[in-house]
Amino acid sequence: MSLIRVCAYAKYLNRRNLFEKHTVCMSFAECVQLCMLRRTGEVRRISETSWQLQRRNVSCVNPKAEDGKKRVHVQSQLLDVLEARISQLQSDSVLDVQHAKVQLIRPNTSSRWVLSRKSLKNAPQDKTEIGKGPSKSKPSRWLEKLSKERMTKLTEKHLQQKLQKNVEKKPPTNSKRSINSLMRPNTTIKTIVSGANKTVPLNKIKRQFALSEEFSSALSPPVTSTTVSTATAISCGVSEWEQKSLKNQAVSETGGNVEKQAQGEELERRLIHQESQGMSSSDKHEKSKEFFSWNMRIRIRCYLEACVFVGDSERAHRFLLNQHRLTGRRKHLSTDEYNIIIRMWAKHGMFEKIGRVLILLEEAGLKPDLGTYCASLECIGRMPISSPKTVTRCLSQMKKDGFSVNDVFSQCIFQQDERDMVLKAIHTVKPDYQPRTNVTTHQNSSPLVQDFYMQRAGHRYPKLDITWKELQERFKRQLNMEESGTVTIDSVEAAKPVTENMAKMRQLLAEYHGKWQKVLLQALRDSKNHLAKTSTCNYSNLYPYLCLLKDDEYVDIMLKSVSNMPFSGESLKILAEDLGSKVFSRYSVQQKYKNQSVKKLETIYNAYTELLAKDTKEYVVLPREQWCKLEMEHSLGPTLQGDETRWPHTLTLELGTYMMELMVNNLKIHSNLFDSSYNRKLIPVFYHMYTFRSTFQIGVIKPHPILTKMQQEAIETKLTFASSVIPMLCPPMPWSSVKSGAYLLIPTKLMRVVSGATQHEELLKECKNLHPVMDSLNQLGNCAWKINKPLLDVIISIFNHRGNEKLDIPPPLSEAPKIPYFNPHDPTYTASEKAQMRKNLVIAKKTYGEMHSLRMDALYKLSIANHLRDETFWFPHNMDFRGRTYPCPPHLNHLGNDVTRSILVFAEGKPLGSKGLDWLKIHLINLTGLKKRSSLQERLQFANTIMEDILDSADNPLNGKKWWMNADEPWQALGCCMEIAKATRSADPTQFISHFPVQQDGSCNGLQHYAALGRDVIGATSVNLVPSEVPQDVYNGVAQQVEQFRAQDAKNGLQIAKVLDGFISRKVVKQTVMTVVYGVTRYGSRLQIEKRLKEIEEFPTDHIWEASHYLVRLVFSSLKEMFKRTREIQDWLTYSAKLISKCGHPVEWVTPLGLPIVQPYHRKRCQRLKTTLQFIHVNIGYDANMNPDTVKQKNAFPPNFIHSLDSTHMMLTALHCYSTGLTFVSVHDCFWTHAVNVDTMNMVCREQFVSLHSQPILEELSNFLLHKYCSNSRSELSKKKSQEFRRLSEMLAAVPETGDFDLQQVKESTYFFS
């Protein structure tokens, strides 16, 4: 730049009366320096606003006009820059670069600089950043405070004078020297990023620095004040000693003013404190960065696996290479991602390409693991000539890294013939080597199950009433069903007569389905062709995922979603998740076939069924043990347990949204199907629109009314379900590991959690004591079921007639109230009338939607049951994060409502024996709810007195006296009536083969566990842990206590207590008492009591709100008096969880059976997912990297801990019932078995409860929490953290005291479970 341009700038400023105004503040050297900064574009970006950047980035069509605009724009930008610069020099001479996108990096003299945005961004030592590009934000606080500190003004001036003298004394600068020579040692360089991905080129910077001596002096590092030096030191990570030395030097030059020095130190202390606070806030963002890194790594891995699966090796290799080259992506990669490509090339025997990937692995700073060596050996084995030297070198390196050859065969997952190839390579140097099969003996630290596993002399495990040949046939049928992915069954509504209109609508739907199939198929292929040409460096490219299945399969999934679309529409997020999950499920099945593990599965399963079949020898091993033994015996070939990655939630949503967009854009229907007056044109079948759910706006996909009308009038006779929805036709595969169990091919989680949560799976993988948990799940899953056909026929007849709400059979939609027509613009209605009409419209729509939902739910359950009416079937089980067990099929299972439970009976029948019929009668009275306070003998006598009503109900359920309809559980009561009628009419009731399950329910089971934990005598007596002649009713006891409090308050003149006279009953307080043990709040309790009071017609409605508040207080006071120890334990658990979560940890514990549990309640964060249709906001509350949600953690810990104890009790009961040959299933704290085995099950149930609570549960919990959260050294903590640490330690160590209750009394308590 020449002096002429400098003068031109000065002249321009003179015209604006700026240069003369501020001449004193700007020296010639500063003016030259400013011009140089203007030329490089640095100051321009310092002062630019976001709007100016947007304006500058807009391109014009006319080049001349563009040049003219640029000149004007540049001048205005220069004016803005100089104004900002002069104002800064006039105020404090402080250069504020807050608005520049500046990065500070240390000069590297040993290596060549690479001035790229990404390299600077990802350099680990170069993370200090000033500003984040053009922004409207204000300068940082510490700079504002520095500028306001007038007391340091004198210090600043003296330091500026000294630095200016140093500049003047500086020797002439060589114009050809490098940038590094212009910098002081340990000084950072400000690199100005100019554009989205551009930086100032190094050679251009060098040319700009090749100036005269005067310009070089002007361009020396612009340190103008002590404050700037201190700020730069803090920002650049300069040591504290250097900061102090700079400040002390400046203070000494002012004469050593002690007061100002102290003030300066205080300022510096505040600056450092603010900086530390900034660092701590940035540390909080590290957790979200960890989740982002994990999510990106999973997405990369899924993309690579998809490419390898479809055989696109080049795309997979290019993709990994692109990720490796991008420094920002490389840091997210792990050895697993490189191993995918290494295994891919090993399949082709390309050792050279494996070598290249290994070089990339080394460049990434990663080490080979066992999978790397395994794939390398496999590749050598596939080569025509295996080099012993190469194998020896590979084995020696593997040994150096701490791996043995046996580890390869015991820990690696093999596909196809990989194992054989590895063994072939090893045989080139070790011809006699054979992998050792490690027979793992059971080692469980829990004393609760040591005798169960070690002493099996008296064990006799039950067998199925099915032959071995039939089990093999059933396996093939189940395999075919899972391979197809869907099951189409007849609807129970198919029995209705087909009208002419129904036939017409069905024909129309069939025609459109044929057209839609062709349209979607072509659209999918066109879309794939377009995606195939896009860049392969982006893991969000969906092309590989659209090649996993055949095109017809994608179209089939989409068309079936058309049939299942709700008439009122559905959220795009829900629909997308459903579509994506179905693709993943089919992909997982195809993976097993490609890996050639299905044949091996068939071999092992056929051998395994010898353990269960009735015509084979007796075995004294558990199903899991037998399965593991067979896997070791058939170790050749692929591994049954795959290592495929489960897709993250975001990928499922993206793929599902993409498929949904194809449907919205391509599915059309004619507009004049029902009204010929309309013009005949094609209109979309689905519409994408937005609506409000609560206060949130969400995207919704709605079907066109024409499609809805066609589907309603067609009344389809077929229903299609996913294979996982239907119960299994053969015994489930036993759980033998965290990833292997339940269905044959469909992937199933051992622990069901929110999609995307991983902390539970990681805990389970690390746990070595899961055998009791898996064995109990296997026992529950091996129970065979069948349908109670006579009862099912009765239910279907009512369902197809008009339903019956009293009997929980939802009526058809024809019985729903008509949705009124409402014209909001009709002037004949007043504003109040319109408001009332809107309200009626909302109520009608809500009622219609609820009726449709209930009707479809019943239709699915009854249709599946009718489909299986002649079958024997099984429910595979898994568990939630607390250990509570659930059947995997969602619709038809024994955890359903009264209707569902009533149609399920045991497939295996057993003679009633001497007391079986009595237990059936007692069970019937329990289902009616008539004699809850009576003894078992009194219930039996009552059943004998009403035998006429029981037989009438069995013979004429719909036309007789209908006694059964008044029971609490009417359909189960009717089923029991039919079973009693058949038994009493048989020749010998003791030999009658009964399939009916008899239930024994715990008496307020949560309070039972609390009373046992606290050894609370009063509480134990109230919940039937103590033997008594008649059952103790805790709900009635609380109601009586509340009534006493109310009477006293009424006597004292309290008005609401007088109003409640005669209205306090067992029913009013039952729900609150039942749920208070599971953490219900006072607000929730008030709503429960309010609902009960509204059900009482005589109670005055104007007192409901006040009465519910009053009763909540009395109920909680009564519970506190009756269950003192319970409240102490509950409070201890609550406060412990509160302190733990405040320290930044989720609450974890281990059940007495060794199951690790962590509460998945974390602060929610919203992840915005960009799709082609809309942005989808995913609220993530399971991210373990986020801070825990303190409120949820503390409120949920007591109920979750009790749930984990009742699941432990159930599992112990299941294991010991299995060892005695009983059929046992459970619905949490309700245990089912045959009538003949009720006494045995009751004995086992009580023994295991006593055994469980004989352990020091609270002490072990305290020790675990202290070790988990309080094992850090206090010296490492700050003062505040140290106080929290001390409070937490004291709270966890303060285990509540226990009472004097003798647990052995439970064994004699008749009504503990009854």
CA–CA dist 999, 976 (Å, integer): 11
Share of the chain above pLDDT 70, in %: 76
Which of the residue ranges 74-78, 453-457, 966-970, 1002-1006 would you say has the lowest mean pLDDT?
Answer: 74-78
Statement: residue 482 has pLDDT above 90: yes
CA–CA dist 741, 632 (Å, integer): 16
Residue 583 to residues 271, 651, 1274, Cα–Cα distance (Å): 55, 11, 52
User: What are 1086-1124's pLDDT values in tens digits?
Assistant: 898 988 888 888 888 888 899 999 999 998 888 888 888
User: Between 34 and 189, where is the model more confident?
Assistant: 34
Of the residues 1070, 1138, 1192, 1194, only one is catalytic, namely 1070
Statement: residue 475 has pLDDT above 80: yes
Residues 343 and 375: beta-carbon distance below 8 Å: yes
Task: Note the pLDDT of residue 696.
Answer: 77
Residues 879 and 750: beta-carbon distance below 8 Å: yes
Residue 1234 to residues 869, 925, 983, 999, 1222, Cα–Cα distance (Å): 21, 17, 14, 9, 8
Find the helix or strand (DSSP H, E) in which 53 lies.
helix 50-56
Task: Note the pLDDT of residue 714.
Answer: 85
Which of the residue ranges 259-263, 438-442, 1128-1132 would you say has the lowest mean pLDDT?
Answer: 259-263
User: What are 811-846's pLDDT values in tens digits?
Assistant: 988 888 887 777 888 888 888 888 888 888 888 888
Encoded tokens for 1159: 């509460």
DSSP for residue 497? P
User: Between 139 and 930, where is the model more confident?
Assistant: 930
User: What are 83-92's pLDDT values in tens digits?
Assistant: 545 544 444 3
Task: Note the pLDDT of residue 283.
Answer: 47
Share of the chain above pLDDT 90, in %: 44
Task: Note the pLDDT of residue 245.
Answer: 38
Statement: residue 805 has pLDDT above 60: yes
Q: What type of residue sits at position 730?
A: C
Tell me how many degrees the CA angle 584-585-591 measures, rounded to the nearest 5. Answer: 85
Which residues, at least 6 apart from 1274, have a Cβ–Cβ distance to it below 8 Å? Answer: 1282, 1285, 1286
User: What are 994-1044's pLDDT values in tens digits?
Assistant: 999 999 998 888 899 999 999 999 889 989 999 999 998 888 888 888 988
Statement: residue 606 has pLDDT above 50: yes
Across the range 540-546, mean pLDDT stands at: 90
Residues 917 and 984: beta-carbon distance below 8 Å: yes
1070 catalytic? Reply is yes
Of the residues 1001, 1142, 1239, 1268, only one is catalytic, namely 1001
User: What are 214-244's pLDDT values in tens digits?
Assistant: 333 333 333 333 333 333 332 333 333 334 3
Statement: residue 249 has pLDDT above 70: no
Which residues, at least 6 apart from 56, have a Cβ–Cβ distance to it below 8 Å? Answer: 48, 73
Residues 970 and 964: beta-carbon distance below 8 Å: yes
Report residue 1278's pLDDT band, with 50, 70 and 90 as the boundaries. low
Phi, psi of 905 (to 5 degrees): -135, 165
Report residue 39's pLDDT band, with 50, 70 and 90 as the boundaries. very low
1001 catalytic? Reply is yes
Of the residues 369, 775, 1033, 1229, only one is catalytic, namely 1229
Within a 10 A sphere around the Cβ of 226, how many other Cβ atoms? Answer: 23
Across the range 295-316, mean pLDDT stands at: 91
Task: Note the pLDDT of residue 1173.
Answer: 84
Q: Is the overall model pTM greater than 0.75, yes or no?
A: yes
Across the range 848-872, mean pLDDT stands at: 92
Phi, psi of 1220 (to 5 degrees): -95, 5
Work out the burial of residue 1304: count CB atoms within 10 Å of its CB; fewer than 13 is exposed, 13-18 middle, 19 or more buried. exposed
CA–CA dist 1298, 1282 (Å, integer): 30
Statement: residue 201 has pLDDT above 60: no
> How large is the angle between the packed helices 1190-1219 and 771-781, nearest 10 degrees?
70
Which residues, at least 6 apart from 1149, have a Cβ–Cβ distance to it below 8 Å? Answer: 1156, 1157, 1201, 1204, 1261, 1264, 1265
Report residue 437's pLDDT band, with 50, 70 and 90 as the boundaries. low
| DSSP bridge partners of 1165 | 1180
Which of the residue ranges 105-109, 489-493, 1229-1233, 1259-1263 would you say has the lowest mean pLDDT?
Answer: 105-109
Across the range 671-685, mean pLDDT stands at: 82
Statement: residue 281 has pLDDT above 70: no
User: What are 320-364's pLDDT values in tens digits?
Assistant: 999 898 888 888 899 999 999 999 999 999 989 999 999 999 999
Statement: residue 976 has pLDDT above 90: yes
Q: H helices of 149-257, where?
A: 153-168, 179-182, 202-209, 213-218, 226-235, 240-253
Q: What type of residue sits at position 13?
A: L
Statement: residue 932 has pLDDT above 60: yes
CA–CA dist 766, 777 (Å, integer): 19
| DSSP bridge partners of 1158 | 1148
Which of the residue ranges 227-231, 700-704, 908-912, 1197-1201 would you say has the lowest mean pLDDT?
Answer: 227-231
CA–CA dist 250, 234 (Å, integer): 17
